[in-house]
Amino acid sequence: MEKRGNLLNVSDLHVVFYTYRGVIQALNGVELWMNKGERLGVVGETGCGKSVTSRAVMNLIEEPGKILSGRVLFEERDILKLKESELRKMRGNEISMIFQEPKSSLNPVMNVGFQIAEVLGKVNNKPIKSQYKQAAQMLEFVGLDSDRVLTMYPHELSGGMAQRVMIAMGLAPNPKLLIADEPTSALDVTIQAQILELLDDLVEKLGNAVMLISHDMGVVAEFCNKILVMYAGNSVEYAPTKTLFRNPLHPYTTGLLKAVPQIGRTDELKAITGTVPDLVDPPSGCRFHKRCPQVMDICKKERPPFIQVEDDHYVACHLWGNKESFDEQKGGESQ
């Protein structure tokens, strides 16, 4: 397997969920990669497998889900082949996670100090009691009054405070990779901006790589330097942020960008027609072909490979079947 990033390489990841309705093919050959200190945004509609990807990266898929095949290389180790004890050592220490609902992601019967100290105790391999000082420092680090918040319980926190606590917990071990699963979707807009700014600052200071999962193009554009667009369990386009916004190649990405309001934009917003396909019985070939405005015959039969078309720009679409046809079309456009 070629290694495309020096921190994380996910290739051909297949995850299914066994339900009474049938087998849900949640991830169907996801590809993604990250370098150290890089910020990758993962975007896509609800149910396209963003969160499942993030869980799979930590090997946290639980019953009835199952990782069928694929490789998740974190530095040199294949996470999917690690033993449970090695996984535990890695989770928290090297990869940590921030969740969507900060208030329900904290244990309601334990105070904040204990919960941060517990993570620190596990990471530093020391008794929890000795970690309160560092826990207080972490709280100060995320801009909370540690004297007060240390002994508070989750129900006493506001949404923004709770998310700050979650960030403190996530960053406490100074992980190489921080996965933020929609960290701001449960918060209101002003707090969203604050939290993102805070995360931006802290990650800048500590130099962690961040995988930010979001359905908000704006959030991702502001925060990330690389973007991966996912659709129905597939990676469809990967590019640096600027490239993706200026020159989207996949019809789905184009559609997403057309649906985002912008200041100064006067044309009408266009929604992508149709709905997300049912993953129990996904469409044949390219999973986007039923909604695609530029659908071709081959789209219904063959799944497009995820190929490199430009330097650092990858796309899975038959329109750009290979580098030659890409150059041809791009050349034609510019004339």
Partner 1 sequence: MSETTTKPKTGWFHLMKPYFEDMKHSLYLWRRNKLAIVGSIIIAAFLFIAIFAPLLTPYKPDIQNLSEKLLAPSSQHPFGTDQFGRDILCRILYGSRIAIQIVLIVTIISGFIGISIGVTAGYFGGIIDEILMRITDMFLAFPRLVLAMAFAAMLGPNLTNMIIAISLVNWTPYARISRAEALRVKGQPYIESIRSMGASNFRIMFSHVLPMTISPVLVQLTLRMGTIIITAAGLGFLGLGAQPPSPEWGVMVSDGRSYLIDQWWVSTFPGLAIAIVVLGFNLLGDGIRDMMDPRLRR
Which residues contact partner 1 by CB under 8 A? 58, 60, 63, 87-93, 96-97, 99, 101, 104-109, 115, 118-119, 122, 145, 147-148, 151, 166, 169
CB-based contact 208:219 (threshold 8 Å): no
Q: Least Å distance between CB 157 and partner 1?
A: 13
Could you tell me which residues come within 8 angstroms of residue 58 by beta carbon, excluding any fewer than 6 positions away? 79, 87, 91, 95, 97, 179
Quick one: 105 or 241, whose CB is closer to partner 1?
A: 105
Using alpha carbons only, give the angle 229, 233, 238 rounded to the nearest 5 degrees.
25
Give the count of alpha carbons within 13 A of 183, CB side only.
33
Quick one: 151 or 262, whose CB is closer to partner 1?
A: 151
Q: Least Å distance between CB 84 and partner 1?
A: 9
Which neighbouring-strand residues pair with 177?
A: 95, 209
Quick one: 115 or 214, whose CB is closer to partner 1?
A: 115
Q: Least Å distance between CB 15 and partner 1?
A: 16
Quick one: 57 or 299, whose CB is closer to partner 1?
A: 57
Quick one: 43 or 165, whose CB is closer to partner 1?
A: 165
Q: Least Å distance between CB 244 and partner 1?
A: 28
Q: Least Å distance between CB 151 and partner 1?
A: 6
Instruction: Give the distance, in angstroms, between the CA of residue 66 and the centroid of all CA atoms in the same chain.
Output: 19
Quick one: 152 or 295, whose CB is closer to partner 1?
A: 152
Distances (CA, A) of 329 to 126, 146, 182, 332, 335: 60, 58, 36, 5, 10
Quick one: 10 or 229, whose CB is closer to partner 1?
A: 10
Q: Least Å distance between CB 252 and partner 1?
A: 29
Q: Least Å distance between CB 66 and partner 1?
A: 13
Complete edge-to-edge strand list for the sheet that includes strand 39-43? 95-98, 177-181, 209-214, 39-43, 226-231, 234-240, 313-315, 307-310
Q: Least Å distance between CB 228 and partner 1?
A: 20
CB-based contact 239:314 (threshold 8 Å): yes
Quick one: 109 or 271, whose CB is closer to partner 1?
A: 109
Complete edge-to-edge strand list for the sheet that includes strand 8-19? 22-34, 8-19, 65-74, 77-78
Segments of 20-86 assigned E as strands: 22-34, 39-43, 65-74, 77-78
Peptide bond into 64 cis (omega under 30): yes
Instruction: Give the distance, in angstroms, between the CA of residue 130 and the centroid of all CA atoms in the same chain.
Output: 34
